Amino acid sequence: MNKVVKPTAPPPLNASRLREARRALVEEGQATPDLAACDPALIRSWQRSQAAGLSPVGRTPGTPHASALQLAQAREQQHELVAHARPAMEFIYEQTRDSDSIVLLSDAQGLLLDTLGDIGFANRAERVALRPGANWHEQWRGTNAIGTALAEERPVVIHGSEHYLDRNAFLTCAAAPNIDPGGTLLGAIDISSDHRQFHRHTLGLARSAARMVEHRLFETRHRDSLRLRLHKHREGIAGLTEGLIALSDDGWLIGANMTGLNLLGLARQDIAALRVDTLFDATLDNLYARSHASHGWPFEVRQLGGATLWVQLEAGRGGIEVTPRTTAPALPPSAPQLAAADADIDVERLVAECQGNLSEAARRLGISRTTLYRRLGRTPG
């Protein structure tokens, strides 16, 4: 689940008390009263930083930095993420312009792929290697928003002396992970600024940027899939806060954004493991029929747990077939089925003979249900 680590405001722990709580934890293994005021994710990060052999003071030897060629190769490997993240970064930059801040994008290993921000603060940020090619994995930089968001796989704020390395204490940073529609961690998007510019809303901006990237990745990966747009409110469909799930032609969940998973109470591991009729009190044929009856507009569907969601169904251009983990692959269509698919037959009559069962009609024709839907002239989304 994409749970949020609540930002830690400067009060009640000032910098000296934070440093003392960290010192007692990593050097003596003692939990001071101040430690109880720290977020558990922050404590775990300090412990990981200690286990990596890092010292809070001084410089860290051996920290990797990608060459120009290595950075170019990394950007090429993550070209889809970089391309879709750039517009989101520009949007965030417009909201934070002239506030001494910088927007950064990393890959899943903490390598910085792209940056955008105020020149004055960018020059300061470069002194601690907040620039493309630097690596901000916790192993090398200790507790920091990018590295900790990647390690915890959820949005975090790291403010001032919450950083494990004292030299980074002038920063306040908020980062959110980028998750692809298959549930794979791709990287993180971060907003960093001077610690005196701390603002709780920065985390919301980082989360919004990550959500924008997830939307674009989903639309690109599943433009040919059967898609469901989800929201608790009808007016939320097609907005930034909508959930998105993609289904195979036989109703298996093959992709989703994090909002979609959260709305359905699912985890990333559920992708490719569940069918649509285990999510809703409806079969895939029911959803097709209801979408047709609503002329492609959103309609309400009850989840098996009893809650209702507004749903809009969109049929892709061809559908993406996957082999679910718990079923055997479907048999290929027979020669008579293929011949029937190519023949100029009365598709409506065949559907009627199947008593409206689109799955059976598609099986007889040897085509996907999405293709059958198009041949019927129905456009549900």
First-to-last C-alpha distance (Å) of the chain = 28
Our CA dihedral for 45, 154, 70, 57, rounded to 10 degrees, sits at: -20
Q: What average pLDDT does the segment 356-367 reach?
A: 69
What is the total count of domains within the chain? 2
Exposed / middle / buried, residue 124 (Cβ in 10 Å: 0-12, 13-18, 19+): middle
CA distance 190 to 210: 9
**Do 268 and 365 fall within a single domain?**
yes
CA distance 114 to 90: 11
Question: Of 180, 198, 219, which marks where a domain is finished?
Answer: 219
Q: Tell which wins on pLDDT, 374 or 75.
A: 75
The answer to whether the CB of 131 falls within 8 A of the CB of 112 is yes
pLDDT at 35 over 70: yes
Angle at which helix 335-342 crosses helix 358-365, to 10 degrees, equals 100
pLDDT at 259 over 50: yes
Two structure tokens written together for 261: 């998973």
Whether 226 is covered by a domain: the verdict is yes
Whether 248 is covered by a domain: the verdict is yes
Phi, psi of 37 (to 5 degrees): -85, -10
**Tens digit of each residue's pLDDT (9 = 90 or more) over 75-87:** 999 999 999 999 9
pLDDT at 107 over 80: yes
Q: Is the dihedral of CA 12, 16, 17, 23 positive or negative?
A: positive
Residue 381: per-residue pLDDT: 40
Whether 7 is covered by a domain: the verdict is no
Two structure tokens written together for 366: 């040897």
Exposed / middle / buried, residue 3 (Cβ in 10 Å: 0-12, 13-18, 19+): exposed
Q: What CATH code is carried by the domain that includes residue 134?
A: 3.30.450.40
Question: Of 159, 184, 219, which marks where a domain is finished?
Answer: 219
Two structure tokens written together for 42: 């922050």
Question: Of 219, 250, 266, which marks where a domain is finished?
Answer: 219
Reported as a pLDDT band with limits 50, 70 and 90, residue 364 is: low
Two structure tokens written together for 218: 């989903």
CA distance 124 to 142: 19
The pTM score is: 0.78
pLDDT at 325 over 50: no
**Do 108 and 248 fall within a single domain?**
no
